Structure 1
Amino acid sequence: MTAVVTLGSAARLDHVRRQQRMLGAEPVRRVLVWLDADPPPASVPEFAGAELVHVPPGEHGLRLAAGRNQGARTADAGLLVFLDADCLPGPGLLARYRAAADAHPGALLCGPVTYLPKGVRPVDATALPALTAPHAARPAPPDGEHVVAGPDDYRLFWSLSFAVTAPTWDTLGGFDEAYQGYGGEDTDLARTAAAAGVPLVWVGGAHAYHQYHPTSSPPWQHLDDILRNGRLFAERWGSWPMQGWLDAFAEAGAIEPTPAGWQRRPRPPAA
Structure 2
Amino acid sequence: MGRLGRQDVAIPDRPSVGYSLLNMAPKHVVVIIPVFRDYDRARQTVAAILRCSVPSPFSVRVHVVDDGSGDGTAERLSEQFGGRIEIIGLPENLGRSAARNAGATNISADLLLFVDADCEPSDDRFLAAHLLSIREADVSMGVVEGQDDGFWHAYQQAARVRRDRLARRTFVAHFTTQNVMIDARLFNSVGGFDEAFKGYGFEDRDLAIRLARAGARFTIAPGARVIHRDTLDLAQVCRKMGEAGATTSQIFASRYPFEYRTLGYEAIDGQRHPWRGVLAKLLWPVFQPWTQHDAWLQWRLVPFKLRAGIVRIMVAVSYLRGTLRRHR
Q: Same fold (TM over 0.5)?
A: yes
Distance 1:243 1:36, change over 3 A: farther
CA distance 1:118–1:212, change in 2 (3 Å): farther
| Equivalence for 1:125 | none
SS at structure 2 position matched to 1:159? coil
What is the TM-score normalised by the length of structure 2?
0.61
User: Unaligned 5+ residue runs, structure 2?
Assistant: 1-27, 55-59, 151-156, 271-276, 285-317
**Which one of the candidate residues 29, 32, 37 is aligned to 1:5?**
32
Distance 1:192 1:47 in 2: 35
User: What is the rounded CA distance, in whole Å, between the counterparts of 2:99 and 2:87 in structure 1?
Assistant: 12
Q: Look up the match of 2:45.
A: 19
Q: Which has the larger radius of gyration?
A: 2
Which residue of 2 is the match for residue 232 of structure 1? 251
Contact preservation (8 Å) 1:154, 1:200: no
More strand by share: 1
Q: 2: CA distance between counterparts of 1:219 and 1:57? A: 26
Q: What 5-or-longer segments of structure 1 have no aligned partner?
A: 120-132, 140-148, 266-271
Where 1:207 maps in the other structure, the secondary structure is strand
Shift of 1:231: 0.9
Flag the structure with higher helix content: 2
- Aligned positions of 1:102-251 closer than 5 A: 102-104=135-137, 107-118=138-149, 135-137=160-162, 152-216=170-234, 218-221=237-240, 223-238=242-257, 240=260, 243-244=264-265, 247=268, 250=277, 251=279
Cα distance in 2 for partners of 1:244, 1:181 equals 16
C-alpha displacement at 1:248, in angstroms?
A: 8.9
Write the deviation string for residues 59-96 of structure 1: whole angstroms up to 9, x where unpaired: xxx41111111111255311111100111123221111
From 70, 85, 89, give the equivalent of 1:54.
Answer: 89
Deviations 1:186-208 (A, max 9, x none): 11112212322322211121111
- Structure 1 residue 245: deviation in Å? 9.7
Q: Calculate the aligned-residue CA RMSD, in Å.
A: 3.3
Number of residue pairs the alignment of both structures matches = 234
Matches of 1:155 and 1:23, distance apart in 2: 26
Could you tell me the percent identity over the aligned residues? 26
Alpha carbons of 1:46 and 1:248: their partners in 2 closer, same or farther (altered >3 Å)? farther
Displacement after TM superposition at 1:4 (Å): 0.8
Q: Does 1:252 align with 2:261?
A: no
Q: TM-score, normalised by structure 1?
A: 0.73
* 1:42 and 2:75 correspond: yes
1:180–1:225 contact (8 Å) kept in structure 2: no
